[in-house]
């Protein structure tokens, strides 16, 4: 999770032309991986919360300020 957090913080590049002209498919592989890791018990609830904050901090982080 720390490596993923670092990658998200370092790579804040705007994606001008996403695949299929929408961002909805960009998160699909990450969601599938998260689902599998939850099934085998590798991720905790705290890890899922961190992941959701990385995806959309405005929605999931109570301390987020614009």
As averages over each run of 10 residues, the pLDDT of the chain (66 residues) reads 75 64 70 88 88 86 87
Q: What is the pLDDT of residue 54?
A: 83
What pTM was estimated for this model as a whole? Answer: 0.62
| Sign of CA pseudo-dihedral 32, 4, 22, 61 | positive
Q: Where are the domains of the chain?
A: 24-66
Cβ-based neighbours of 61, under 8 Å, separated by 6 or more: 53
Q: What is the pLDDT of residue 39?
A: 92
Q: What is the pLDDT of residue 9?
A: 73
First CA to last CA distance, the chain: 24
Q: What is the pLDDT of residue 21?
A: 65
> What's the CA gap between 13 and 59, in Å, rounded?
20
């Amino acid at each position: 999770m720390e490596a993923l957090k670092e990658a998200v913080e370092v790579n804040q590049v705007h994606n001008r032309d996403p695949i299929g002209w929408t961002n909805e498919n960009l998160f699909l592989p990450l969601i599938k991986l998260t689902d599998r890791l939850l099934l085998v018990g590798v991720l905790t609830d705290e890890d899922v919360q961190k992941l959701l904050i990385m995806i959309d901090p405005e929605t999931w982080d109570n301390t987020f300020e614009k």
